[in-house]
Amino acid sequence: MATGGLSLSNLTVAIIEKTQGRLRATVRGSPDLCVTSVAPLATAAVTDLAFLANPRYRSDAQSSQAGAIVLTLQEADALEARPNGALVVVDAPYAWFALATQLLHPTPPAAAGIDSGAVIGSGARIDPTASVGAGAVVGADAVVGPGAIIGAGAHLGARSVLSAGSRLYPRAVVLDDCTLGARCIVHSGAVIGADGFGFAPLDGQWIKIPQLGRVVIGDDVEIGANTTIDRGTMGDTVVESGVKMDNQIQIGHNCFVGANTVIAGCVGVAGSARIGRNCMIGGAAGIAGHLTIADGCVIGPATVVSGSIATPGHYTGFFPIMKNREWEKAAAIVRQLEDLRRRIRELEAAGRGDAKQ
Amino acid sequence: MATGGLSLSNLTVAIIEKTQGRLRATVRGSPDLCVTSVAPLATAAVTDLAFLANPRYRSDAQSSQAGAIVLTLQEADALEARPNGALVVVDAPYAWFALATQLLHPTPPAAAGIDSGAVIGSGARIDPTASVGAGAVVGADAVVGPGAIIGAGAHLGARSVLSAGSRLYPRAVVLDDCTLGARCIVHSGAVIGADGFGFAPLDGQWIKIPQLGRVVIGDDVEIGANTTIDRGTMGDTVVESGVKMDNQIQIGHNCFVGANTVIAGCVGVAGSARIGRNCMIGGAAGIAGHLTIADGCVIGPATVVSGSIATPGHYTGFFPIMKNREWEKAAAIVRQLEDLRRRIRELEAAGRGDAKQ
Amino acid sequence: MATGGLSLSNLTVAIIEKTQGRLRATVRGSPDLCVTSVAPLATAAVTDLAFLANPRYRSDAQSSQAGAIVLTLQEADALEARPNGALVVVDAPYAWFALATQLLHPTPPAAAGIDSGAVIGSGARIDPTASVGAGAVVGADAVVGPGAIIGAGAHLGARSVLSAGSRLYPRAVVLDDCTLGARCIVHSGAVIGADGFGFAPLDGQWIKIPQLGRVVIGDDVEIGANTTIDRGTMGDTVVESGVKMDNQIQIGHNCFVGANTVIAGCVGVAGSARIGRNCMIGGAAGIAGHLTIADGCVIGPATVVSGSIATPGHYTGFFPIMKNREWEKAAAIVRQLEDLRRRIRELEAAGRGDAKQ
């Protein structure tokens, strides 16, 4: 949904308010200039707002038709005068642009109320300003907060809590006894609170360990499509506030994900892993169970974290891509690395006049 | 569903028509021979059609009880006479067999019409020959083309288009403003059009960037179970005609997948990647964002594409499997490769009489 | 759900019965001591049962407030007297603990009967003791056994069989013509019986090969959330009894998974792979198609099984994690391994007085 457009001065004021003063922008050009939407620099029209965050795109900015461009002071000073467009100068242009986009394209409000085709369990408490879609299920004694939205066919289990302003997209599933804080977004096909994977061996067979814990999720958490977060075995699986998870992620039972950590798509996290705050986990990384990752770590894509990481830093580990024929040779040599190392030792020993080992 | 059976001559004619003359077969033996189903060479009965594409299975063909075998001229000539069975000789036996299977086992038609338990939004236009199952949702102003099938509990969002002959399997989800061309198949649990993963950092927190684009899918695209394709941020995510995607794939926002590319299961593609036409991507490969893969590339399984690929070819990169104990040693040496290389340089320098570096 | 509590003597007797005598425990302390729930050693209260399986946690056991601790004879003898708590001594404490947890927290029974919002196809046979939830679909001629539970919004396709005591969690999908044995658990979002990924090339395009087989699943199989198991092309995809699969797993068409094998999350198995019995497959492993893995194999996490494994053992293969800067160097050297090997050979030849090759 688009608004009818907002002037740059209205946008700057609204964003100062929204960020409680953290994001103050200066307009170069007419503050009355009105933008109706957003676009990339290259394709923006005079009614669009665009942004320049990466100096690589400076020439795109120079030639852009955008009505206004958000950028840093440094970039603004580097740009030649733009006769037909304004500049919005701010310390964090990407964040300012994101907030401006939210203001220009507010999420369409869902109609408050419970669709006649929804199924509501006994004792469920649904705020009158909340919206429950067709075919959605709200379990017994569940709680749905003010302004929360449960999409068509979504499922909120018994005794679970969906707090104010949170949203389950169509066919998202939250099972029993789970709690989501305020302003969370759960995308379609995500499953929160399925049983953790716990079995005890007995004579070659596997005895199921009942999974008695919950999933407890903080505020402002986003959970991608088809991501799964299992309930704890005895304690809870915990996702702190501000965490953003992409699609197709698996979080095992009793994991902890610290505040404001972002996890890219297809990551798997085994049970009881403890991921710190403000981490960035690359796509398709795999994190073993029962380990700890320090706050502020960056994990590369497709990297296996096989042990605890105590020191913040950037860690990576994946095999480099090569032409298939070269890879076949390299892979064969990887299998012989021990032999290569031995031969180097022997050469060194021979050079020193040692007897060969 | 099986038909009552078809004669080889009927099959050959039907396939010539279906392929507009591209696939002409010759029958050795009786063209009136009737087959009712298909089976592998080893287990086929006299009423079955089988195929031989890989010379490795030539002896299976020789001893097969199949009523008819589809094969190339070369294989047909290599085979000794089969007293009790026919041969169907064709340039592309696997494709002919696939088409014959389609003819022998046509998809059962779904009953046209809208199930009384479906939920139809205002302004939705549903062709009278389309089928909408129980509990399915068709959003406001959505369009469902002739012969399209929306399975039980599937979701087609507002303003989205499901074109002629396309099918959403039970509980597949297409969110708002997405378009699918003709004859597409979307399997259960797939989610098309969830928000892309876009956030701008501000003081250690993450500001959501509204995802305003769409997903636009061509004709004859197949999308596997629980695969996710995110909508674009500003522009669209585009999947061209003829693309085939397996299960559990993740396609990020603003990706482009070129025509007739096939992607095996569990592949992750980060945002704004551009995959060319006629590529083959192996299972569990990972493709980084903002890169380009040339037309006609083959990417091996579990391979990380971390940069653009400009030249068609076969590329691979995964660590070879080893006995765990040997892997432990090899992995330790991989961590010391820089040291090994330095030692080789020193040995070379010593051999040349250089001073050690 | 918790019972009112059970005495240790009641638990020991019940577990002897349940395991048909395989698991006999001895109580040290009062057999009349009653426990109401389970907890980890560190946080257990006097009404809790805890367990000690790993000697590493011996000191936790010593200081635990747990009413009773399950452990081996060896651990029991190593522990100092616990004035206020009992010990349950048994050969397999973890299995005993799992069974005790099941007895203390039995799965709440679902109300028998068919919800008025469920959709039942013609000819479906649903046992009167089974439970079918709101919005669930049971296809034509499907069979639902005694005590089986079909959760809200779950889907059981036409002619499919859900045997006695099996459970589909909310929004799990079993498509047509599939069979699940007794006491199976299918978690939310799992999709069983989608089409396998089969296409034949023709002039750069892909012809769909109809997937005519089924998925056939044994008894006591657990299938995780958003896991997908494709139907066979001509034969069936088979999962034997006792198999446990975690979340987000992909099993391709015509695979075979042998009895009591456990597969961790995010594993991908390509078509026609044959995994033996009693295997353990680590998280995010990838198994290529058309190969065989022997019974009793352990595959490490993130390991690509690219060929058959004939000998039981522990196999691994993933790139070790490193600081990103070191990884960049190591990855560059991996690409030059052939060159390094050549240089070692030259040094060896020079040392032997050979001419350089």
Distance from the C44 Cα atom to the nearest Cα atom in chain B, whole angstroms: 36
**Would you state the structure tokens that stand for residue A229, as one six-digit string?**
């977060």
Which of C64, C245, C341, C354 has the most A C-beta neighbours within 10 Å, making it the best mutation to test the interface with A?
A: C341
The helices-and-strands tally (H runs, E runs) of chain B is 6, 40
Residues C240 and C307 both lie in one domain: yes
Partners of B322 in the β-ladder: C316
Residues A99 and A174 both lie in one domain: no
pLDDT at A21: 95
Please report whether residue B266 resides in a domain. Answer: yes
Percent of chain B with pLDDT over 70: 98
Residues C79 and C177 both lie in one domain: no
Distance from the C281 Cα atom to the nearest Cα atom in chain A, whole angstroms: 13
Please report whether residue A1 resides in a domain. Answer: no
CATH of the domain at A42: 3.40.1390.10
CA dist., res. A63 & res. A78, Å (int):
14
Which single residue is written with the structure tokens 């979340």? C247
Alpha-helical segments (H) within chain A: 8-18, 58-63, 73-78, 93-104, 324-334, 337-351
Q: C342 to chain A: nearest residue by CA?
A: A340
**Separation of CA A224 from chain center:** 7
How large is the average pLDDT for residues B247-276? 98
Task: Give chain A positions within 8 Å (CB) of B347.
Answer: 344, 347-348, 351
Residues B214 and B256 both lie in one domain: yes
Q: In what helix (H) or strand (E) does residue B256 lie, and over which residues does it extend? A: strand B256-257
How large is the average pLDDT for residues A119-127? 98
pLDDT at B3: 61
Other beta carbons within 10 angstroms of residue B141's beta carbon come to: 17
Other beta carbons within 10 angstroms of residue A1's beta carbon come to: 10
Interface check B303 vs C, CB under 8 A: no
Pair B141, B158: CB distance under 8 Å: yes
Q: Report CB contact under 8 Å: B228, A222.
A: no
pLDDT at C108: 83
Q: Report CB contact under 8 Å: B195, A187.
A: yes
> Which pLDDT tens digit goes with each residue over C190-237?
999 999 999 999 999 999 999 999 999 999 999 999 999 999 999 999
Percent of chain C with pLDDT over 70: 98
Interface check C22 vs B, CB under 8 A: no
Which of A115, A269, A303 has the most C C-beta neighbours within 10 Å, making it the best mutation to test the interface with C?
A: A303
pLDDT at residue B343 greater than cutoff 50: yes
pLDDT at residue B357 greater than cutoff 60: no
Answer with the one of A77, A104, A131 that is the final residue of a domain: A104
**Burial readout A76-86 (b: 16 or more C-beta within 10 A, e: otherwise):** beebeebeebb
Distance from the A148 Cα atom to the nearest Cα atom in chain B, whole angstroms: 18
Distances (CA, A) of B139 to B48, B133, B145, B177, C106: 44, 14, 14, 10, 41
Chains with 3 or more CB pairs under 8 A to chain B: A, C
Tell me the pLDDT band of C351, cut-offs 50, 70 and 90.
confident
- Beta-strand runs (E) in C172-294: 173-174, 179-180, 185-186, 191-194, 199-202, 205-208, 215-217, 222-223, 228-230, 237-239, 244-245, 250-251, 256-257, 262-263, 268-269, 274-275, 280-281, 286-287, 292-293
Between C98, C278, C302, which is nearest A207 by CB? C98
Q: Which is it for strands A314-316 and C322-323: parallel, antiparallel or unpaired? A: antiparallel
> Which pLDDT tens digit goes with each residue over C132-149?
999 999 999 999 999 999
Interface check A241 vs B, CB under 8 A: no
Q: How does DSSP classify residue A309?
A: B
Tell me the pLDDT band of C353, cut-offs 50, 70 and 90.
confident
Pair B307, A322: CB distance under 8 Å: no
Task: Give chain A positions within 8 Å (CB) of C338.
Answer: 326, 329-330, 333
Q: Which of A105, A187, A253, A290 is catalytic?
A: A253
Q: Report CB contact under 8 Å: B248, C234.
A: no
Tell me the pLDDT band of C82, cut-offs 50, 70 and 90.
confident
Residues B95 and B128 both lie in one domain: no
Q: Report CB contact under 8 Å: B234, A189.
A: no
**Would you state the structure tokens that stand for residue B346, as one six-digit string?**
């020193």
Q: In what helix (H) or strand (E) does residue C99 lie, and over which residues does it extend? A: helix C93-104
Interface check A159 vs C, CB under 8 A: no
Other beta carbons within 10 angstroms of residue C223's beta carbon come to: 30
Q: Report CB contact under 8 Å: B319, A335.
A: no
Residues C69 and C121 both lie in one domain: no
Interface check B333 vs C, CB under 8 A: no
Give the mean pLDDT of chain C.
Answer: 95
Interface check A244 vs B, CB under 8 A: yes
pLDDT at B2: 55
Task: Give chain C positions within 8 Å (CB) of B351.
Answer: 347, 350
Tell me the pLDDT band of A107, cut-offs 50, 70 and 90.
confident
Tell me the pLDDT band of A357, cut-offs 50, 70 and 90.
very low
Residues A197 and A231 both lie in one domain: yes
Q: Which of B105, B155, B253, B290 is catalytic?
A: B253
Other beta carbons within 10 angstroms of residue A164's beta carbon come to: 17
How large is the average pLDDT for residues C18-30? 96
Pair C165, C185: CB distance under 8 Å: no
Please report whether residue B315 resides in a domain. Answer: no
Distance from the C203 Cα atom to the nearest Cα atom in chain A, whole angstroms: 25
Q: Report CB contact under 8 Å: B153, C135.
A: yes
Distances (CA, A) of C340 to A328, A352, B322, C294, C332: 15, 21, 21, 35, 12
Between A197, A204, A313, which is nearest C246 by CB? A197
Percent of chain A with pLDDT over 90: 93
Interface check B331 vs A, CB under 8 A: no
pLDDT at B356: 47
How large is the average pLDDT for residues B178-207? 97
pLDDT at residue A3 greater than cutoff 70: no
Pair A189, B228: CB distance under 8 Å: yes
Percent of chain B with pLDDT over 90: 93
> Which pLDDT tens digit goes with each residue over A36-95?
999 999 999 999 999 998 899 999 999 999 999 999 999 999 988 777 789 999 999 999
Tell me the pLDDT band of B82, cut-offs 50, 70 and 90.
confident
What lies within 8 Å, CB to CB, of C182 at 6+ separation is C145, C163, C164, C165, C166, C219, C220
CATH of the domain at B170: 2.160.10.10
- The CA-CA-CA angle for residues C250, C256, C261, to 5°, reads 80
pLDDT at A82: 76
Residues A225 and A304 both lie in one domain: yes
How large is the average pLDDT for residues C338-342? 96
Domain interval for residue B353 = 320-357
How large is the average pLDDT for residues B38-48? 95
pLDDT at A267: 98
pLDDT at C357: 43
Q: How does DSSP classify residue B121?
A: -
Task: Give chain A positions within 8 Å (CB) of C22.
Answer: 202-203
CA dist., res. C166 & res. C174, Å (int):
12
Q: How does DSSP classify residue A57?
A: G
pLDDT at residue C2 greater than cutoff 70: no
Give the mean pLDDT of chain A.
Answer: 95
> Which pLDDT tens digit goes with each residue over A296-342?
999 999 999 999 999 999 999 999 999 999 999 999 999 999 999 99
Distances (CA, A) of B247 to C72, C174, C191, C201: 44, 15, 10, 19
- For CA atoms C44, C47, C49, C55, the dihedral sign is positive
Pair C242, C259: CB distance under 8 Å: yes
Nearest alpha-carbon partner for A151 in A194, A111, A103: A111
> Which pLDDT tens digit goes with each residue over A186-197?
999 999 999 999
- Exposure of C2 in the CB half-sphere (CA atoms within 13 A): 11
* Rg of chain B over all Cα atoms, to the nearest angstrom: 26
Interface of A with C in 118-157 (CB under 8 A): 119, 135, 137, 153, 155, 157
- Exposure of C254 in the CB half-sphere (CA atoms within 13 A): 17
How large is the average pLDDT for residues C30-35? 96
Q: Report CB contact under 8 Å: A191, C283.
A: no
Which single residue is written with the structure tokens 């200066």? A26
Q: Report CB contact under 8 Å: A348, B344.
A: no
pLDDT at A2: 55
Residues C290 and C159 both lie in one domain: yes
Please report whether residue B295 resides in a domain. Answer: no
CA dist., res. B103 & res. B15, Å (int):
9
Please report whether residue B308 resides in a domain. Answer: no
Q: For chain B, how many residues are written?
A: 357
Q: Which is it for strands C185-186 and C167-168: parallel, antiparallel or unpaired? A: parallel
Residues B137 and B218 both lie in one domain: yes
Answer with the one of C50, C82, C104 that is the final residue of a domain: C104
Please report whether residue B267 resides in a domain. Answer: yes
- For CA atoms A145, C225, B215, C176, the dihedral sign is negative
Interface check B75 vs A, CB under 8 A: no
Which single residue is written with the structure tokens 């052939």? C338
Please report whether residue A109 resides in a domain. Answer: no
Task: Give chain B positions within 8 Å (CB) of A188.
Answer: 155, 173, 175, 191, 194
pLDDT at C92: 96
Between chain A and chain C, how many beta carbons pairs sit less than 8 Å apart? 219
Interface check B228 vs A, CB under 8 A: yes
C253: annotated active-site residue: yes
Residues C180 and C302 both lie in one domain: yes
pLDDT at C356: 47
How large is the average pLDDT for residues B226-243? 98
Give the mean pLDDT of chain B.
Answer: 95
**Burial readout C167-189 (b: 16 or more C-beta within 10 A, e: otherwise):** bbbbbbbbbbbbbbbbbbbbbbb
Answer with the one of B72, B104, B136 that is the final residue of a domain: B104
pLDDT at residue B1 greater than cutoff 60: no
Residues A205 and A335 both lie in one domain: no
Task: Give chain C positions within 8 Å (CB) of B328.
Answer: 316
Q: Report CB contact under 8 Å: A242, B315.
A: no
How many structural domains does chain C have?
3
Chains with 3 or more CB pairs under 8 A to chain C: A, B
Nearest alpha-carbon partner for A201 in C181, C218, C296, C13: C296
